[in-house]
Amino acid sequence: MILEVIDLKVEFPTRRGTLTALDGISFSIAPGEILGVVGESGAGKSITGLAVIGLLEPPGRIAAGEVRLEGRRIDNLPHEELRRLRGRRIGVIFQDPLTSLNPLYTIGHQIEETILTHLPMTKSEARTRALSLLREVGIPAPESRYSNYPHQFSGGMRQRVVIALALAAEPRLLIADEPTTALDVSIQAQIIALLKRLAGERGAAVMLITHDMGVIAETAQRVAVMYAGRIVEVGAVRDVIHSPRHPYTVGLMGSIPKIGLRKGKLVQIDGAMPRLNAIPPGCAFNPRCPRRFDRCLVERPELMPAGASRAACWLHAAT
Amino acid sequence: MPLLKLEGVSRDFDVSRPWLNRVLEREPRRILRAVDRVSFSVEPGETLALVGESGSGKSTVARLIVGLHQPTEGTVGFSGRRMQMIFQDPYASLNPRWRVRDIVAEPIRALHTRTRVDELLVQVGLSADDGEKYPHEFSGGQRQRISIARALAGEPDFLVCDEPTSALDVSVQAQILNLMTDLQSRLGLTYLFISHNLAVVSQVADRVGVMYCGRIVEFAPAAQLFTRPRHPYTRMLLDAVPDLAMSGKPRTPVAGEVPNPLAPPPGCTFHPRCPHANERCRVEVPQLLDDVACHGVAEGRI
């Protein structure tokens, strides 16, 4: 396994008490595997990504659990060591490419700089590598775009540059947080294809965070569905999409409009996800769940086998 | 008789640099044509959707219809009673200092009665008590319900909805789309629905217009557009939609990007990305013939 997250708990201490943003998150990603992490706003998917790379905004902190990269524990590393690790072993792609690029430097300079920081190379070797990375992510005529600034690129091209930057030091783990959300659908398809190809070719582990089940269906092998700071279902993408086991996943899949299902009512989950300071006891989904029963109100379910997947739902309890 | 009729509507925006720069640097004026000779009509009771990627001009069309922009050329004719607009961002479109009751009552302040506001709030799935609260006390989906209640206050028969669910989570989007469908059948509303999301459009639309670079490239009944797309751009858009069913059907990879609207390619604006483009496509602008603006389709090549 390249990444192992074990029983991770993230808390945000506030004046009105401590909020638990993530509670008991465990998952792992193998080399060459793309794990999709899907959920609606506030489910904790981005916090999971930030916790893995040690970029939680204070006062947020990891209160319990472990993060292991290639077997080595990284959540307790000193700040400086973690920073080096981040560029070298972990590449990060965010939703808005402009947050990852410095507007004052040419893109060639930024990629070269990243390579020189992490890899033992001369300046001219770094330049050659930067050019080949840009070619690989599909920037046409990289030599002529090398000394362009980020604002001279379109949104889709910028996201390609960010991917090149994330790959610069040959990371083992790639974290992509909503990498295609800001892009038009035709550009989204191109970026998805690119991510998929690169993960396959390089054998890196990819954690793909998105709200879009369609993107997961196209890209990932396994998917973890998050709700109110917990993983409620995890399994192979095909199983989770075609036969979801948790009532939340069932509702989520039903609420996605699909081309071809002509005008009619969508399945809807009434209500909204609870805020962090008002997570109900028992199963956090119980107030919205059409299939809740007594046990759901008092006892919190852990992930348990459910069909070919695993779901945190008492409907699947053996006893 | 159509409720709304657009005839040859165009809209230019002057994006020139300031006068002094133009004189000193001998630059001409720069005109961006956001909407180019768009004509269509909307029949009472139907939902017409406009789809396109960013910069296609779909939101400008919405603004031209409600009068937030004046057309540079062409005419917009409306024969209905009243129209209203619902915006994309329910955080920006509600005044944070006003109580919900006052927000909803604003269009009918002259004759505003408390019961009417209560009725409107209940109609969109909120409770009458919610009127006393402020917008920040609501989630995105509830705010969009408030926007809809406000839009319905003046009893419009036509609603222009500009990406009404794009800022919402998918489960909340389902709630809002269901609400809009309900209201349509209950109140006999007509919708112009603007969206970049083809799946959402297939859910709500009766007819669909596909826009690219300010022009309409294809018009079709929804059922036909999604099963037998004709324009190469429509086909490309449909191929780019993630395949949720994981059917593994073969698809042509999408290439290229939307061109710079300040310097659109000559001829058919889609020709640089089109697999079927020939010499004629590079020079001659295709007109909308039989609801498709494509030389290849007109010549029977595609």
- Could you list the residue range(s) of the whole structural domain that residue B31 is in? 4-81+157-298
Q: Helix, strand, coil proportions of chain A in percent (round to 5)? A: 40, 25, 40
Are A242 and B246 a contacting pair at CB < 8 A?
yes
Nearest in space to A307 (alpha carbons), one of A295, A298, A316: A316
- Could you list the residue range(s) of the whole structural domain that residue A82 is in? 3-89+171-257+266-316
**Residue at A274 is within a domain:** yes
Question: Is the pLDDT confidence value at A136 over 90?
Answer: no
Retrieve residue A319's tokens: 């006893």
**Residue at B195 is within a domain:** yes
Confidence class for position A261, pLDDT limits 50, 70, 90:
low
**Residue at A144 is within a domain:** no
Retrieve residue B149's tokens: 């209640």
Q: Which percentage of chain A shows pLDDT scores above 90?
A: 66
ipTM for the whole complex: 0.85
pLDDT at A69 (0 to 100): 94
Nearest in space to A178 (alpha carbons), one of A186, A188, A169, A166: A188
**Residue at A306 is within a domain:** yes
Q: Which residues of A touch B165 (CB under 8 A)?
A: none
Are B240 and A157 a contacting pair at CB < 8 A?
no
Are A268 and B200 a contacting pair at CB < 8 A?
no
Restricting to A residues 215-244, those with a Cβ less than 8 Å away from any Cβ of B are 215, 217-218, 237-238, 241-242
pLDDT at B112 (0 to 100): 62
**Residue at A135 is within a domain:** no
Q: pTM for the complete prediction?
A: 0.89
Q: What is the mean pLDDT of residues A255-273?
A: 82
**Residue at B31 is within a domain:** yes
Q: Which residues of B touch A41 (CB under 8 A)?
A: 140, 169
Nearest in space to B268 (alpha carbons), one of B192, B222, B228, B213: B213
**Residue at A304 is within a domain:** yes
**Residue at A52 is within a domain:** yes
**Residue at A302 is within a domain:** yes
Query: Measuring CA to CA, how many Å separate A238 from each of A119, A196, A235, A311?
Result: 39, 17, 8, 15
Q: Is A300 strand, coil or helix? A: coil
Q: Nearest Cβ partner of B171 from A259, A263, A269? A: A269
CATH number of the domain residue B172 falls in? 3.40.50.300
Q: What angle do CA B242, B246, B252 make, to 5 degrees?
A: 55
Task: Kindly report which listed range (A101-115, A177-191, B58-72, B181-195) carries the lowest average pLDDT score.
Answer: A177-191
**Residue at B117 is within a domain:** no
A57 near B CB under 8 A: no
Query: Measuring CA to CA, how many Å separate A118 from each of A55, A76, A147, A319, B269?
Result: 19, 21, 21, 53, 44
**Residue at A14 is within a domain:** yes
Q: In what order do the strands lie in the sheet with B4-14?
A: B31-42, B4-14, B73-78
**Residue at B286 is within a domain:** yes
pLDDT along chain B (302 residues), means of 10: 94 89 86 93 95 90 94 95 90 90 86 83 92 90 93 93 90 92 94 93 94 95 93 92 79 78 90 93 94 94 88
Are A251 and B171 a contacting pair at CB < 8 A?
yes
Q: Nearest Cβ partner of B244 from A241, A255, A267? A: A241
Q: Which residues of A touch B253 (CB under 8 A)?
A: 189-190, 193
**Residue at B202 is within a domain:** yes
Write the single-letter amino acid at A12. F
pLDDT at B41 (0 to 100): 95
* Structural domain total, chain B: 1
CATH number of the domain residue A224 falls in? 3.40.50.300
Residue to substitute from A154, A266, A269, A289, interface B, most B β-carbons within 10 A: A266
Beta-carbon neighbour count of residue A27 at 10 Å? 20
Residue to substitute from B163, B168, B170, B211, interface A, most A β-carbons within 10 A: B170
Beta bridge partners of B191: B47, B159
Are B139 and A272 a contacting pair at CB < 8 A?
yes
Q: Which residues of B touch A192 (CB under 8 A)?
A: 242
Measured between CA atoms, the residue of chain B closest to residue A187 is B257
